[in-house]
């Protein structure tokens, strides 16, 4: 989607593509909710279990899809205030390099997470991705990366009781 410097959809923004994507994701999420009703439940109320986990994620996807669709259907104030000269400007073209860098960085992240571990790999990955997406603050970006990483680590470790990878480099050092 083309974007203006303020982050709002630009003149060439594909409204119908966003609406279609939102509807498709919502339909898939609703199908996941229906299918997951047949999953076995656990006897513990505090256990997420195989039945609740997909229900939680699918519910979040339905809500986010609804926000996307409604946001694209409602006219925004910025789009209405644009001048005729701004509307006449062509939309910026698709830039392949940032997408390719993001895909390669994600593949490297997936490989390195088992080798180096969740915490250092995720912090470096998030800093790189935020910089790639245009965040330029060398103070805010690392703070956000560390905060997001710590938050997710605590959620998985204590909330879901799922350990995250320590990394084989560090496991060998513990022997």
50's tokens: 């195989």
Residue 6 CB-density burial (10 A; 0-12 exposed, 13-18 middle, 19+ buried): exposed
Listing DSSP states for 115-134 in one string gives: HH-HHHHHHHHHHHHHHHTT
Look up tokens 């259907």; give the residue: 73
Q: What is the pLDDT of residues 80-122, one digit of tens each?
A: 555 454 555 555 656 677 778 878 888 888 888 888 888 889 8
pLDDT tens string 6-15: 444 544 455 7
Q: Are the C-beta atoms of 157 and 163 separated by less than 8 Å?
A: yes
DSSP class of 2: -
Q: pTM of the predicted model, to two decimals?
A: 0.51
Total Cβ atoms within 10 A of residue 117: 18
């Amino acid at each position: 989607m083309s974007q203006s410097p303020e982050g709002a959809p630009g003149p060439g923004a594909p409204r119908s593509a966003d609406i279609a994507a939102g509807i498709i994701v919502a339909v898939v999420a609703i199908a996941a909710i229906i299918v997951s009703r047949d999953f076995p439940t656990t006897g513990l109320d505090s256990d997420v279990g195989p039945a609740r986990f997909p229900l939680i994620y699918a519910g979040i996807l339905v809500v986010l899809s609804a926000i996307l669709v409604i946001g694209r259907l409602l006219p925004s104030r910025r789009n209405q205030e644009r001048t005729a000269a701004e509307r006449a400007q062509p939309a910026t073209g698709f830039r392949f390099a940032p997408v390719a860098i993001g895909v390669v960085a994600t593949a490297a992240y997936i490989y390195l997470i088992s080798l180096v571990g969740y915490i250092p790999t995720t912090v470096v990955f998030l800093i790189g991705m935020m910089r790639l997406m245009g965040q330029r603050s060398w103070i805010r970006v690392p703070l956000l990366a560390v905060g997001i990483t710590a938050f997710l680590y605590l959620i998985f470790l204590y909330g879901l009781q799922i350990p995250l990878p320590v990394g084989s480099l560090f496991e060998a050092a513990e022997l």
